[in-house]
Amino acid sequence: MVLRPMGFKMDNHSKHIQIQHLTVAYGETVALENISGTLHPNALMALFGPNGGGKSTFVNVLASIIKPTSGTITHQCRTTCSPAYLPQQSTMHRQFPLTVREVVAMGLWGQAGPFHALDPGHQEKIDEALERVGLQDYDQRLIGTLSGGQFQRMLFARIILEDSSLIILDEPFTAIDIQTSETLLQLIQEWHKLGKTILVVLHDLDIARRYFPETILLSKTCLGWGKTEDVLTDHNLIKAYAQSMRTTHHA
């Protein structure tokens, strides 16, 4: 049997996302300097770099949460290109009185919005998403009782339902058990096969090399953008971390 997440159609809508001379500064501090590159449709891309190298800033700009100081980002989507985005430090209330099912159902906001009821078709989609991340027996559990790994699975189920053609994840495997990481990595592979564009911030070289064909290496400036084996070379990595040491030293 072929494992195939249901509720997905092949995604042919996504097109190039072009980033030109992107610079972001917070007051005096420059976080990103003159970044250019293209996210191809169906790219499976890792974003790698030292702490403070501007990775989160970069994805926040892509998700249009931060406005660039200068430079442009051109989305060429036929429909709206709003990405499904999982931030690193979420502003979520983890003890909020909601069940797992209710949180996952939020992924259907695009269809149900603030007023429409969920029909049986929607409920089925929710069931499928829960099953895909292995939370089918937890759907009535309060989110405050979940472990870190289960919480992350729930958020991935919500992303499944959002069914966006661009998915951005910021360090999704931090402080997560190995089994959950495996499940979620498998899910990312499936999204890739379905034609989605995926950008994942990582700090684990091993995961980047094993699962991600393409990588961006950021350390304030862009030190590499392309095939993972060409970008994550010792030479480039030393350069990236040496650069970040210098910046820290100056500060």
Partner 1 sequence: MLEEFFLNPFDYEFMRNALLSCFCLSLGCGPVGVFLVLRRMSLMGDALSHAVLPGAAIGYMIAGLSLPALSLGGFLAGFLVALLAGLVSRTTLLKEDASFAGFFLIALALGVFIISMRKSSIDLMNILFGSALAVTHQALLLMASITTLTLSVLAFIYRSLVVECFDPQFFQRVHGKGTLYHMLFLMLVVLNLVSGFQSMGTLLSLGIMMLPATAAQFWSRQIWSMGVLSVVFAMIAGYLGLLLSYHLNFPTGPSIVLMAGLFYIISLLVGRFGSVLQHMKNRVA
- Nearest partner of 199 among 174, 225, 168, 229, judged by Cα: 168
Q: Residues 6, 106, 238, 242: which binds partner 1 (CB under 8 A)?
A: 106
- Return the C-alpha torsion angle 223, 60, 17, 73, nearest 10: -90
96 makes contact with partner 1 (CB under 8 A): yes
Please, which residues have CB within 8 angstroms of residue 11's CB and are 6 or more apart in sequence? 165, 194, 195, 196
Query: Which residue type occupies 133?
Result: V
139 makes contact with partner 1 (CB under 8 A): no
Q: Residues 22, 103, 130, 232: which binds partner 1 (CB under 8 A)?
A: 103
114 makes contact with partner 1 (CB under 8 A): yes
26 makes contact with partner 1 (CB under 8 A): no
21 makes contact with partner 1 (CB under 8 A): no
Point out which span in 8-16, 70-78, 97-105, 128-136 binds partner 1 (CB under 8 A): 97-105
Nearer residue to partner 1 within complex by CB, 199 or 217: 199
> Least distance from C-beta 6 to partner 1, angstroms?
22
Asked whether 136 and 130 are in contact (CB, 8 A), the reply is yes
245: Cα within 13 Å, side-chain hemisphere = 6
Quote the tokens at residue 76: 């060429």
- Which positions touch partner 1 (CB under 8 A)? 63, 65, 82, 85, 87, 90-93, 96-98, 103, 106, 109-110, 113-115, 142, 144, 162
